[in-house]
Amino acid sequence: MINFFAILVSITLFVNGCTAANLVCFFTSWTVYRPGNGKYNVSNLPADLCTHVNYGFVGLQEWDGSLSILDDWEANGLYELDHLKALRVKNPDLKLVVSMGGWNEGSEKYSHVAADPKLRKNMVDSVLEFLDKYEFDGFDLDWEYPDQRGGEEEDIENFITLLQEFKQAFAPKNYILSVDVSGGVVSANTSYHIKELGEAVDMINVMAYDYHGAFEDYVGHYAPLYASHMDESELQRSLNVKSGIEFWLSRGAPAEKLNLGIGTYGRGFTLADPKNISLYAPMSGPCTAGPYTREAGTIGYNEICELYSDYTYYWDDEQKVPHIVKGNQWIGYDNALSVQYKVEFAKSKGLGGVMTWSLDTDDFRGICGDGKYPLIRVMKKLLNQ
């Protein structure tokens, strides 16, 4: 009896020990063009921070299904792919993954290639060639999203077929196959056959953010962990991390293959009435662009902690996330405390780990007084506990 119990305990410890382990960090190629303290390149990336570094993004050529390097400088002198490879000297366990797609690549090209057996084969061959050439460990497909944004219903099956063909081709070399998927219940329900997807890939990075933003016409947090009492409709109550992850699990995704996506950024609004700062308050547009990320409506955590200290801080204890307000600017984001709640949540569900978007908007220079990468280090610390 005692022995049996001891075995059970050690199995549980073993399972927990390896399930809460993935820390997938996105490296984005365009951040080298940012000004001042916002400029980020591979030399800023410590080799021992993450278990996987995903290079984002490469693209897909619709006419032949081949992989294309999107950054022109990369191929003619920047060589960040080689710099990433050099991180292995310091950390031989680091996995390098090349990520294809992303929001700006759209959905239609992927829909077209996935529907055609010849193009699918070219795509698989082209990715294999890339992995061999750059000595990467795996491939991550970020198709946003099957059967959405110009895609069609057949995408859902074709996506699985494509992934199964990748899996088969990767087997002899043991390459990692992962996907980035929507963390929204309605969106995930539209785009994926979850059970088959779970069988086809090694890891599923759930993009559990961008639930709200200036693409709507009212104020909302971009990545609440839990619903708010102000969420009224079923749809509103489903737009949060917990609902998204529970949906993926309830449809048969293996918990140990799911990585919970956590942002190191935020989304903001320009309030229509600066006196109304509550959730669902009317807004007149995105927040003003930050000096590093330079895109109205999204702000990096590094910008917030370095430059927005004169904003008033609020903690939403229902949603377990912070926001800051000044005048007509309202910004919801993630900080060390909300990251802590999210990682604990991921562990409580037995997930494989977390994914973070992205390295370049954490306080990677350690300007704000909590050391370098304060958010990603919270993830690492809690995952290893």
Ligand X SMILES: *[C@@H]1O[C@H](CO)[C@@H](O)[C@H](O)[C@H]1NC(C)=O
- Return residues touching ligand X (CB under 6 A): 32, 41, 43, 78, 185-186, 189, 276, 278, 280-282
User: Which amino acid is present at 301?
Assistant: Y
Round to whole Å and give the CA distance between 88 and 121.
30
Encoded tokens for 149: 């944004």
Does the annotation count 318 as an active-site position?
Answer: no
Q: Which is nearer to ligand X, 186 or 337 (CB)?
A: 186
CB of 41 to ligand X, least distance (A): 4
Nearer to ligand X, 32 or 258 (CB): 32
Can you say how many angstroms the Cα of residue 380 is from the centroid of all Cα atoms in its chain? 16
248 by DSSP, 3-state: which? helix
> Which helix (H) or strand (E) is 205 found in, with range?
strand 203-207
Minimal distance in Å, beta carbon 160 to ligand X? 16
Q: In the numeric block, which tokens belong to residue 357?
A: 């978007």
Q: By C-alpha distance, which of 361, 100, 325 is closest to 221? A: 325
Task: Name residue 316's beta-bridge partners.
Answer: 321
Q: What dihedral angle (degrees, nearest 10) is formed by the CA atoms of 364, 30, 301, 377?
A: -40
H/E stretch holding 305: helix 301-307
Dihedral through CA 346, CA 349, CA 351, CA 353, nearest 10? Answer: 20
Question: Which residues fall within 8 angstroms of residue 45, CB to CB, at 6 or more apart?
Answer: 27, 53, 84, 87, 359
- Nearest distance, CB of residue 323 and ligand X, angstroms: 15
Residues 80, 105, 144, 306: which is the catalytic one?
Answer: 144
Smallest separation, CB 185 to ligand X (Å):
5
From the CB of 235, what's the least distance to ligand X, in Å? Answer: 9
Reduced to 3 states, what is the DSSP secondary structure of residue 108? helix
| Minimum gap (Å) between residue 234 Cβ and ligand X | 9
Q: Report which residue type is found at 41.
A: N
Nearer to ligand X by Cβ, of 222 and 247: the residue is 247
Block residue for tokens 């960040």: 80
Q: What amino acid positions are annotated as catalytic residues?
A: 144
